[in-house]
Every structure is written in C-alpha cells, then in structure tokens.
Amino acid sequence: MPGFIKPQLATLKSKAPKGDQWLHEIKYDGYRVQVHVNSGRKKVYTRNGLDWTKRFSTIAGALDIPGQAIFDGEVVVVHEGRTNFSELQAELAAGRQYRLVYYAFDLLWRDGDLRKLPQIERKQALLDLLGENDIELPVLYGEHLIGDGQEMFEHAVKLNWEGIISKRADAPYRSERTEAWLKVKATQRGKFPVVGFVKDPSGVAALYLGRQEGNQLRYLGKVGTGWSRSVSSQIRKQLDTVVSPRSKLTKSVRKPKATWVEPTFVADIEYRDITSEGILRASSFKGLSCK
C-alpha cells in the first residue's frame, strides 16, 4: 500500500461542460483530505501531505472498514445550508471536531490500486464500500449528477455554493492538474465604500473597504488585486482628493499603513463570500465610482 498520493487537481474554467461523458459534483469549501486505512490503522493527510490524523481523528475513526483503502475527499463544516470555510477554521482553531463532515468523492485504493480505473467505476466502488460497511456521519458519499453541467452550476450559484467540479466519467486518476477535472467557481459582486488605502510608489497597494449597516459604517476588509498599474495610479489620484485625518469607520481598526479617506467613492468588488467575522473573502477589484 502506498503512502501519501499527490492529489489530482482541477483546471479552472468559465463554463461547465455538457454531455453524458461528464459527471458533476458540488465544489466543497473546505480542506482536501486523503484518508488511508490499513488493516485498522488510520492516517489522514492534507493535500500537501501533512499528517493531520489527530486533528481529524473522529473522521478517521468513522471509516471502520477491513483491509486497505485510500479515500480522497473534503473535510467541511455545513453552516446555513452550505459548506463554510471560515466556520471550519473556527472549529479547528478551537480544537473541536463534532461539526466536521468528510465528503468522500473518490477511492484510490481498495486492497490494490484503483487509479487506472475510470472515474465512474471508482465512484461506484466507493459507494459500494461505504454501503457494505454501514459507514455513517461524519462520513458522507460525494454525490454527482450526469449531464448539463452549466444547469447544475446555475443552481449552485442560486444556492450560494462555491461552484462545481466536472469530471470525465471515463478518466483515470492522475496526480496533477488536468482537464479531466474542471472547476467552475461561483462569485458574488457588490459595491462597498472605500474607507482607506495603502500607498505604493505609483498608486495603491490595497483598498480598505466598509459596509453601511443602518447608520453604522463597519470594516469589511481589504482588496489588493484586480487592477493594472495605470488603473492603480488613477485610483490613487481620485482618493488623494478625499483624504481624511482619521478613519470614518464607526468602530476604528488598527491599520498602521492606512491613509484614511472620506467614504465618497465606492469600489465594485467580486468576492467569494463574507466570513463569520464580517470580512470579505477572495476579493477582487472591478471598478471605482462616486456614490
């Protein structure tokens, strides 16, 4: 039985594929995890091969099966109907495991190497193995649909999931980034007042953003990508006209490098979600305008 197997990775695409040769899964917002079972002994590895068996001991313990097996999947926390990465981080930081769920979506080894088998056959072997051994929560089988991936992706957006992964049904498992696995990511978009910025020699290195909640202006985090050098310079010229001696946030935050501004301009931001701490995640700048 091998040790840690480098995982297969998906290639980012703007649109999901169609056709019965593809199967489509939810893109889980968690930690990619490989679980090794070897005659009762368990090991849990992160996507980079770190041994996290102690952190995920409850999940490892739930995979009570005879013989040898290697599972590929994702550890998540489900919050308000969807997987939530910030809730997962909070659970791990507190040393808790009772909210953790492991979605197993591939089987790489079962008393022998399965990686050369087609994807659809590996998934069936996984489903059979979990069913035959009455494996229950915190382990779940990663379901899939076959057919129109774009339709599934549009449903994913409506349900505020992270996106979908599309996999060639006939493809073997390969430990690299391939086009046999494709990912299409959902994003959200909004306009938020700019409350400050970090200078760089020719423009801005980052923008600090706020969020209006009634008469309160709350800190929402920062954005540091999405502009060219010329756009960065243009942003700086606009913000230099509204510099303020102090922050206009209702509750101040410590940002030693910040140049504070009047919240006159709003930034158009594309982002993944807002964490439980109220901070933008995976944000990207799309434009600047006056209120």
Average pLDDT over residues 22-50: 96
pLDDT, the chain, mean: 94
Cis amide leading into 138 (omega within 30): yes
Percent of the chain at pLDDT exceeding 70: 100
More confident of the two residues 119 and 230 = 119
Query: 3-state class of 260 per DSSP?
Result: strand
259 pLDDT band, cuts 50/70/90, is very high
Cβ contact 240:288 at 8 Å: no
Quick one: CATH architecture of 188-290?
Beta Barrel (2.40)
| pLDDT value for 291 | 77
Check whether 184 has a pLDDT greater than 90.
Answer: yes
Phi, psi of 85, deg, nearest 5: -65, -40
Check whether 276 has a pLDDT greater than 90.
Answer: no
34 burial level (CB within 10 Å; 0-12, 13-18, 19+): buried
Check whether 54 has a pLDDT greater than 80.
Answer: yes
Which residues make up the CATH 3.30.470.30 domain(s) of the chain?
Answer: 9-185
| pLDDT value for 116 | 98
Check whether 183 has a pLDDT greater than 80.
Answer: yes
pLDDT digits (tens, 9 = 90+) for 108-135: 999 999 999 999 999 999 999 999 999 9
- Closest of 130, 66, 60, 156 to residue 100, by C-alpha: 60
Check whether 86 has a pLDDT greater than 80.
Answer: no
Check whether 22 has a pLDDT greater than 80.
Answer: yes
| pLDDT value for 237 | 94
pLDDT digits (tens, 9 = 90+) for 277-289: 889 988 999 999 9
| pLDDT value for 4 | 97
210 pLDDT band, cuts 50/70/90, is very high
Average pLDDT over residues 215-224: 95
87 pLDDT band, cuts 50/70/90, is confident
Average pLDDT over residues 198-221: 95
Cβ contact 146:120 at 8 Å: no
* Single pTM value for the model: 0.75
CATH topology assigned to domain 9-185: D-amino Acid Aminotransferase; Chain A, domain 1 (3.30.470)
How many Å apart are CA 206 and CA 160, to the nearest integer? 27
Which residues make up the CATH 2.40.50.140 domain(s) of the chain?
Answer: 188-290
